[in-house]
Amino acid sequence: MSERVIPEAVLARRPNYETQAREALNMPPEWRIMSWEAKGDHPNYYGVLVTGAIPGPPISRGKNKGRPDWSKRTLEASITLTKEAEKAWLAAWERDTGYCHRCLGSGQKFKSWSSDHGTAYKPCPHCGATGLAQAKAA
């Protein structure tokens, strides 16, 4: 297996902290994470505090030309995403999309990479390589 195809529906709603925070805070698609911080002490992390906003227009000059101007951000907001909330959100994500959140619907998981052979994949153990949501989402 060398090709990994991720469905369009998943690309539009990737199962990550940014999407989860955006949905929990009811923010528009342009809203992006600008910082995050693990909460709790190793190894007992209980979640992650994310802060995001809509950045200003790209910087027009200087060494940061082309980068988003975070100094002109709007809709700044923070939220702590606990492990429990993440688990529930991922289960809901699988119910809504019908896809496996681990392999993003491809049925494949990263195995290795080399300059000779490129990226190699192995079957996703979470969904049994079907790419589909599991009844008992982890």
Out of 21, 27, 79, 100, point to the residue binding Zn ion (CB under 5 A). 100
Contact between 75 and 31 under an 8 Å Cβ cutoff? The reply is yes
* Site membership for Zn ion, residue 124 (CB under 5 A): yes
**Run of H or E residues at 24:** helix 17-24
* Site membership for Zn ion, residue 133 (CB under 5 A): no
Contact between 131 and 121 under an 8 Å Cβ cutoff? The reply is no
* Site membership for Zn ion, residue 102 (CB under 5 A): yes
Kindly report the number of other CB atoms within 10 A of residue 120's CB atom.
13
Binding residue count for Zn ion, defined by CB under 5 A: 6
* Site membership for Zn ion, residue 126 (CB under 5 A): yes
Contact between 56 and 71 under an 8 Å Cβ cutoff? The reply is yes
Give me the residue label for tokens 């991720």: 6
Region near Zn ion per CB under 5 A, out of 24-32, 64-72, 95-103, 113-121:
95-103
* Site membership for Zn ion, residue 127 (CB under 5 A): yes
Out of 54, 81, 103, 137, point to the residue binding Zn ion (CB under 5 A). 103
| β-bridge pairing 47-58 and 118-123 | unpaired
Which phi and psi angles does 65 have, rounded to 5°? -50, 130
Task: Tell the smallest beta-carbon distance from residue 112 to Zn ion (Å).
Answer: 18
Task: Tell the smallest beta-carbon distance from residue 133 to Zn ion (Å).
Answer: 9
Residues that bind Zn ion (CB under 5 A): 100, 102-103, 124, 126-127
